[in-house]
Structure 1
Amino acid sequence: MSKPGQFRADLAARQRSWQGLETVDQGLPELARHLLTNGPHRTQPTARRVRVILNSTCVVDTTKAVHVWEHVAYPQYYVPITALRNCRWKDKQDIQSTGDATQAAAAVVEVTVPGRNGGNDFTTDRALRFSDNGEISGALKGLVRLEFGSMDQWLEEETPIYVHPKDPYKRIDILPSTRPVEINVAGKTVAKTGFAVHLLETGLPTRYYLPLASVDQSALRKSKLVTKCPYKGDAEYYNVVVDGKEYSDLVWYYRLPTQESAGIAGLLCFYNEKVDIILDGEVLERPKTFFS
C-alpha cells in the first residue's frame, strides 16, 4: 500500500507552470521516462548527511546524496541504491529506455520496512530506481528517488527538513525598513505603515511584511488555507473584503516561522501580484509570477 506521508506541499499547479510536466499527476513511470529522455535540469552532489525515516526506521543514512532538479524550481534528493538500509526492496515495474526497449533503464521499486516492537511491516511503491548502466540512465546512474512526501521524515545532519529539500542556490534576506508602505485593493487603502520587513527570496519579488495593527481589521476574514514552505514554515491566510467583494487568500502570515525566517513572525504580507503596493511614494509594478 502507499503512504501519503506527514508533510506534503500543494505544488502540482506550480510544477506544471515551471516545466510543463505534471510530475505529481502523471506518476513515477512518466517522471522516469521524462528524465531518461530529457535528462534532469541539473544535478549536484552534496556533502550533507541525509537520513530518511520510514515506519519508525532509518532507511537511508548517507553522505552521498545528490540534489536533482527535475524542473527549474527546486531539487529533490536522490541517493545511491546502496544507501538503502533496514529494509527490503524489489523492482515492481520496469521502465525501458527509449533508445533500447530491451533494457530496463529504470524501475518503480517496492520498499518494505519491517515492523518494530511487534508492529506491522510497511510497504510503499513510491520509489524509482535508475539503472547502473550510465549509457541508458545518464546522470542518474545507480540512484534511487524516494518520494519526499511519502516518507515520514527527512533530516539534513540533525535538522528536520519539510515540504522538499532546500535549494542550495536560494537565499533569503530579511531586512527591517522604515520606508512607508501602503496597500491598495480595488482602489481602497487596506494597510498603511511607516515600518515593514522586506523579505528578499531568490527568484521571487520582494515581499513586504507589515505589522498586524497597520492593516484594516474590518477587511480581514480568516481563510482555511494553510501552505507549507521549507524556508519559512506554515503560512495561514486571510481573505480581504472591499466594498462587499471578497478576495480569497490575499494575505498570509507565519505564526511560528522557521529559525531562519524568525524576523517575519506574526507579520502580514499581501501578494504583490494581486494588489497595488505604494513603497516610499512610488507605485510598484505588479510582478508576473506563477502566483499571478
Structure 2
Amino acid sequence: MPRPGAFGSNTYTSSCPVLAQAQRQHLLVLFYRTNTHASFSLADLASYLLTNGPRKVYSASRRVRVIHNRTIIVDTTKAMHVWEHDAYPQFYFPLSELKNCSKRDTQLVRSDGVARAAVVEVTIPSRNGIKETKTDRVIRFTDDKSLGALSGLVRLEFGAMDQWLEEDVPVYVHPKDPFKRIDILPSSRPVEVRVAGKTVAKATSSVHLHETGLPTRYYISAGAVDPTVLRKSSLITKCPYKGDAEYYDVVVDGKQHHDLVWYYRLPTHESAGIAGLLCFYNEKVDILVDGQLLERPQTHFG
C-alpha cells in the first residue's frame, strides 16, 4: 500500500531514482507492447497504482462526457487528469458520476490483504430498440483515504468507449496533456532537406511547429519537395493535438527510406496552420535552416 498522503501533493515519485525509472519502464512496457486496448490486465494496472501511485493527478476543470451504446454514462465537471505513466493522462472521475448503467465487481484487487480496487463490469440496459451492452474495461478504487487522490475514483478504458467529449469537443486518440502545448510559427528562413547526402527539398519559407517535449518540426510546401523521390506509404498515425498523419517513403539512389515524410490532410483546429504541408523526421535526415546544418535530435522516433 502506498504511504499515507503519497498522492496528496498531486505528484508521486519514488525516493529512489533507480526504482522510479524501473516503475516508469514497467508501465510503458505494459501499455505499449501491444496495440489493442484489451491486451493488458486492468487488475495488474490497479495493483501497480495501489503500490506505486500515479505519476501525477490534476483537476481537469472542464465538463467531460462519456458516450457508450448511444447512452451518456458520464456527464461530470469533477473529472481528474491521472498520469498512469509519463506520456499522457487518462480521465478518472468519482464513481458517483457513472450513470445510466449497472455495475458489478468481477475481480477484487488487494493491497496488504485488503481489497482497495476492483475490475468492474458495466452494463448499459436495452432501451428504445438499443440492445444491452457490457464492458469490463473499468477499474474502481475504494473510498479509502489511504489511497489519496485515487480514493473513490473510477477509470473507464478510453478506447473501449464509443466517444468522449471535453465540453462539446470530441476527445481524439487520448486525453490531451494540459501541460503540453503546440505553437505554429511561419518563418521566412529557408529550409533544405538532405537524405543520404542528396538534396530532396528546398523551401524559401517554412512553418515551424513547436510541441512540448519534442524537437521543432519544419513543415514545407509539397512543391518544395522533389516529387520523384516520394512513394506513398500505407502508414497512418493519430495524434490528439494534430490529427491523422499520412506518410511517404523516400527513394534515393535506389534505396527506400520508409515513412520518412508525413503530412496532415485535415489537421485539428489548433494545428490548421500545417494543413497539407510536408515534414521530414529530423532524427533521420539532414536539415539546414537558413544555411545552418541542424544537429539530429535523439528521440524514440530515431
Query: After TM superposition, what 4+ stretches of structure 1 lie above 4 angstroms from structure 2?
Result: none
Relative contact order (C-alpha < 8 Å, sep 6+): which is higher? 1
* Gapped regions of structure 1 (runs ≥ 5): 1-15
What does 1:80-159 correspond to in 2, within 5 Å?
Answer: 80-97=94-111, 100-101=112-113, 103-135=114-146, 137-159=147-169
Check the 8 A contact 1:130/1:141 in 2, yes or no: yes
- Where do residues 64-75 of structure 1 align in structure 2 (5 Å cutoff)? 64-75=78-89
Separation in 2, partners of 1:174, 1:125:
41
Q: Which residue is 2:35 aligned to?
A: none
- Residue of structure 1 aligned with 2:249, choices 239, 254, 264: 239
1:23 and 2:30 are equivalent in the alignment: yes
Instruction: Quote how far apart the aligned CAs of 1:46 are.
Output: 2.0
SS at match of 1:149: helix
The one-letter code sitting in structure 1 at the alignment partner of 2:48 is H
Q: Deviations over 1:132-170 (max 9, x none)?
A: 1121x3321110110111111100111111111111111
Q: CA offsets per residue over residues 165-184 of structure 1, 9 Å max, x none? A: 11111111100001111111
User: Which of 244, 268, 274 matches 2:284?
Assistant: 274
In 2, distance between residues paired with 1:222 and 1:150? 31
TM-score, normalising length from structure 2?
0.88
RMSD of the TM alignment (CA)? 1.4
Work out whether residues 39 and 138 of structure 1, in 8 Å CA contact, stay in contact via their aligned partners in 2.
Answer: no
The CA deviation at 1:112 is 0.8
* Matching residue of 1:52: 66
Q: CA deviation at 1:118?
A: 1.4
Cα offset for 1:201? 0.6
Cα distance, 1:26 vs. partner? 3.4
Aligned to 1:257: 267
Q: How many residues align?
A: 273
Secondary structure in 1 aligned to 2:130?
coil
Distance 2:97 2:277 in 1: 42
Distance in 2 between the 1:212 and 1:74 partners?
A: 32
CA distance 1:155–1:208, change in 2 (3 Å)? same
Which range is displaced more, 249-258 or 107-116?
107-116
CA distance in structure 1 between the partners assigned to 2:42 and 2:295 by the alignment: 40
SS at match of 2:164: strand
Which residue number in structure 2 is paired with residue 161 of structure 1?
171
* TM-score with structure 1 setting the length: 0.91
1:202 to 204, 208, 212: 212
Q: CA deviation at 1:88?
A: 0.7
Shift of 1:113: 0.9
Aligned mates of 1:77, 1:270 — CA distance in 2:
33
TM-aligned CA deviation for residue 47 of structure 1: 1.7
Question: What per-residue deviation string (whole Å, max 9, x for no partner) do you get for residues 17-65 of structure 1?
Answer: 9634233353211111111111101001122000000000000000000
